[in-house]
Structure 1
């Protein structure tokens, strides 16, 4: 598959998880919707053939055909007989914007974390830790862009630990009450 002057194997674009509770055809459809709404595929771009994609991602031809039919029914692609499938202009499609794509990605993230055995509270904590780390990285990049010296995690052991989720044992209820009553009035 060629995109932006580079050859990107479909296997890299469409990572499917056969062990997931989300059906393979739906994983594939959601990934296409993400690639279309995020701007990776632009209106008029030709999609891989059904047979070609099925072979590259190692799924049944009928599965890919079902995905293409569903995408066409939803208005994301247009099939032209003997020419192939092309991305439709979805810019004026109601509900198609970055928030829809983010909702799809977030739902998949929650589903995958749940399949790993994480509770919703654990998923929230992990996401928050990752978000804090991403913000810190962005801020470090903005600061280093203004400085001639480069500061990185390799030089500062404290930097290397930032963003990791660390679980501390919760204090017993009695200990927490005692600490609060002895505190500084906060």
Structure 2
């Protein structure tokens, strides 16, 4: 089940660890993971999503540094209450991800029109996959 939560886009310019971190932030801010919930183990998640153990470890360390989770020695990683954290919401998280997307596209030399066309194409593909699934 864990692997369904964490689909990795191998073709994305975003590094895998950042894709996973962003997904965790979304799952935490959207309420899928609640404060106090225990996250999958680093080794278990690495095996489920078929990525290197060190990649998951980097994700968890970054999430902890940002205050989303707390690691407890020999017990695991647990979700923190981020409801009072400024700027933490689905909307603000989506804005951060979107801004990063735009920045990367501009770095590739894309115009706003190119970005819009690419985005619309990706939305159509996602709808098609969703409707088939």
Question: TM (normalized to structure 2)?
Answer: 0.75
Q: How does 1:107-186 map to 2 (within 5 A)?
A: 107=99, 120-124=112-116
Once the two structures are superposed, what CA deviation does each residue of 1:113-166 show, in whole Å capped at 9, x if it has no partner?
89xxx85315436768xxxxxxxxxxxxxxxxxxxxxxxxxxxxxxxxxxxxxx
Cα offset for 1:109?
Answer: 6.3
Give the CA RMSD over aligned residues: 3.0
Residue 27 (str. 1) matches residue 19 (str. 2): yes
Aligned to 1:40: 32
Aligned to 2:8: 16
**Separation (CA, whole Å) in 1 of partners of 2:99 and 2:34:** 24
Paired residues in the alignment total 121
Residue 88 (str. 1) matches residue 80 (str. 2): yes
Residue 55 (str. 1) matches residue 55 (str. 2): no
Aligned to 1:39, the other structure's residue is in SS state coil
Cα offset for 1:16?
Answer: 0.9
Once the two structures are superposed, what CA deviation does each residue of 1:9-53 show, in whole Å capped at 9, x if it has no partner?
122111112222111111111111111111111101110000000
- Bigger relative contact order (CA 8 A; separation at least 6): 2
Unpaired runs of at least 5, structure 1: 1-8, 129-186
Whose helix fraction is larger, Structure 1's or Structure 2's? Answer: 2
Cα offset for 1:61?
Answer: 0.3
**Separation (CA, whole Å) in 1 of partners of 2:9 and 2:90:** 24
Aligned to 1:75: 67
Unpaired runs of at least 5, structure 2: 121-133
